[in-house]
Structure 1
Amino acid sequence: MTEKIYLKNPYLMKLNAKIIENDFKDNKFHVKLNRTLFEPNISGGQFGDKGSIDGISVLNVYEQKDDIIHVLKDLPKSKEVEISIDWDIRFSNMQQHTGSHILSNAFYKLYDFDTLNFHIGENFNYIDINTNLLNKNIIEKIESYSNRIVFSNFEISTYIVDREYVSNLPIRGSIKKDGDIRIVEINRLDFCECNSIHNRRTGEVGLIKIINCYKIKENYRVEFVCGIKALKDYQMKISMKL
């Protein structure tokens, strides 16, 4: 089983590890390490980390049962390797994912709207909300509430609880797995099952901006950007004339 260091310390950028297995298929090496900083691609959720192993670019990262597999074009010469992640991508991913929790919490707390699913894309993200009514007034209240949470700079914590203890927590959303559950908590304001990386404080998320919303069958899709992506979106839409 690969030790998932990224869950323990998402701010660590470099780490030494050991290759314990590799498989050559489709003209690429699929490498398993004893431990890793690379968060894999999450199905329907977000893209994984980018970076390198001994200077060789990691083309893809995926989860295989309890192991994390790193796809490389070449195989490192030594079994003892140095792994390094792209910090800009890692930090942006944390901003977008933590921002999605804050936004989903706002919809739930203010209007009792559940989040059905979410996606973190290259240029923008979205969450699908189980409501057939959204208007300008609702969106403005959701944005204001969400950004107050950000600017309050609340602590974010992650921890593991067993299935029996989960009933003692006000979990937002349903529990999707048996056994031990990983909880992401925002300062007693939001509790959610999640197996991904997050910022340590809400202030790191930066601005949360809803950029579009439209109906998807009986629900609404809400597109948004956070932090670095919000800045890039603003820069693209408004250019200063110097």
Structure 2
Amino acid sequence: MAAFGTDELERYARHIILPEIGGAGQQALKQARVLVIGAGGLGSPLLLYLAAAGIGTLGIVDDDTVSLSNLQRQVLHSTDRIGAKKTESAAAALAALNPHVRVVEHSERLTEANAGRLFAGYDIVADGSDNFDTRFLVNDTCYRLQKTLVTAAILRFDGQLSTFKAYLGDPHPCYRCVFPEAPPPGSIPSCQEAGVLGALGGVMGSLQALEVVKEITGIGDSMSGRLLLYDALRGDFRTVKLRRDPHCRLCGDHEA
């Protein structure tokens, strides 16, 4: 087990003095390998806080480039990096924040063909994607590879967050237990069509990072089996209990 250098002890001092984390918890963060899907509105604060927390290895999956319209919410990127690959821009920002973190760039679109290969080398997956097809793919791959999934979503002034560990069985649901099928095309607008409040990504992405840290260190109560809903206009948080669906096509009782 690698020891902390003097600069690391100072960098993580406010974590280490927390009895719930301490040196052992910080060591767990240093050894952790987290894969983040998307370096956009959610991925930006998520990646920044995970790097600041001292996650040992951060993988980033994104095939997009930085555009001017991203900068209203994607705080990981900057004006001088417009046109750059988002993975490259993210890696530069994270290296400047914490050089002790290893960043692995996966500058490719997540597909059924590559998901298993990409996920295999990581302990936990954090999904900040912006469409149902990707969310289903991430959920299904995490279930099959027995990876913990922390996922969040934002649109307009609303956010949601949950953790899925259906591979543990009852009482843990998977994403498909909550959303069995994607909504009909055109029924839910994209952020590009409907807009999104920039700071909302900061709220939900930060909460997502917090839940990843909790899962790695084993502190607090997991969000598995609960869905957090945030209404930014009302300033209101609400938690809904989730149940595993025994008829779920992925993790239901028909599965071996």
Work out which of the two has the higher radius of gyration on C-alpha atoms and give 1 or 2.
1
Q: Determine if the TM-score, normalized by the shorter chain, exceeds 0.5.
A: no
- Report the structure, 1 or 2, having the larger strand content: 1
Q: Indicate the structure whose relative CO is greater, using CA pairs within 8 Å and at least 6 residues apart.
A: 2
* TM norm structure 2: 0.28
- Report the structure, 1 or 2, having the larger helix content: 2
